[in-house]
Amino acid sequence: MKILVPVKRVVDPNVKVRVKADGSGVDLTSVKMSMNPFDEIAVEEAVRLKEAGKATEIVVVSAGIAAAQDALRTALAMGADRAILVDTDAEVQPLAVAKILKALVDKEQPKLVIAGKQAIDDDSNQTGQMLAALLGWPQATFISKLVPGADDITITREIDGGLEQLAVKLPAVVTVDLRLNEPRYATLPNIMKAKKKPLETVKPADLGVDVTPRLTILKVAEPPTRSAGVIVSDVAQLVDKLKNVAKVI
Ligand code: AMP
């Protein structure tokens, strides 16, 4: 079973982002970038399936600027076999990414696509779903467990009422949630080895995809700062404040 894993380069989750003065977006000057954390989980799951003899090849794909290669190299160091950079300076929005991935799925013929449930920069949570729709494949989102079968996979999803188990026929698209696994760190020897693994570069036009953005960002703003809290001395004072100051009871 060949597995395709899309990985996005995003602002590192430990960075406190700043909004640009003109409100046009987030300031990315000198900001540390990393692989989207959910995509690390997706890569880890694919590598575990390969280690268990259930997967034959892992292809990782990223759409973005040349620096997105860093995320691909990290995925290769974690254990992916091959990488494809879809090189573009345009801001690639979820529908464009889904179309790019559809073109690559048509070419690569994987049995399973394991994507992150969302990219932590735009929080769109759309790409996996759109890809499944474009392919006409079954999809299972926010999975926290994956058990491979012969022609299908059994997955677990965390939902409001508990855990939902679904059998999903392959080929399929799944998107992963936080509790699926704990991704490994790439070791130095594996980082060195990853430098020699194949990384192919293509342009969106080579795949017949127009990546022109369809959504326009009108304004990006910092969340309002919270005012300082008050320590109350007893329950009576708390009730009084809730009633007469916050006016919520
Ligand atoms: P989103 O729909 O943007 O929240 O992203 C969901 C998932 O789609 C991510 O976790 C990645 O697996 C994949 N994805 C989104 N954007 C890209 C991109 N530019 N390149 C590769 N994969 C992406």
At 136-168, the pLDDT tens digits run 999 999 999 999 998 999 999 988 889 999 999
93 lines ligand 1 (CB under 6 A): no
pLDDT digits (tens, 9 = 90+) for 73-82: 999 999 999 9
CATH number at residue 196: 3.40.50.620
Q: What are phi and psi of 73, to 5 degrees?
A: -65, -40
**Domain total for the chain?**
1
Predicted TM-score (pTM) of the model is 0.92
Nearest ligand 1 atom, CA 118: 4
Residue 185 belongs to domain spanning = 2-245
d(CA 239, CA 243): 6
Nearest CA to ligand 1 atom 23: 8
Residue 5 to residue 114: CA distance in whole angstroms: 5
pLDDT, the chain, mean: 96
**Distance from the alpha carbon of residue 239 to the mean position of ligand 1, in angstroms:** 46
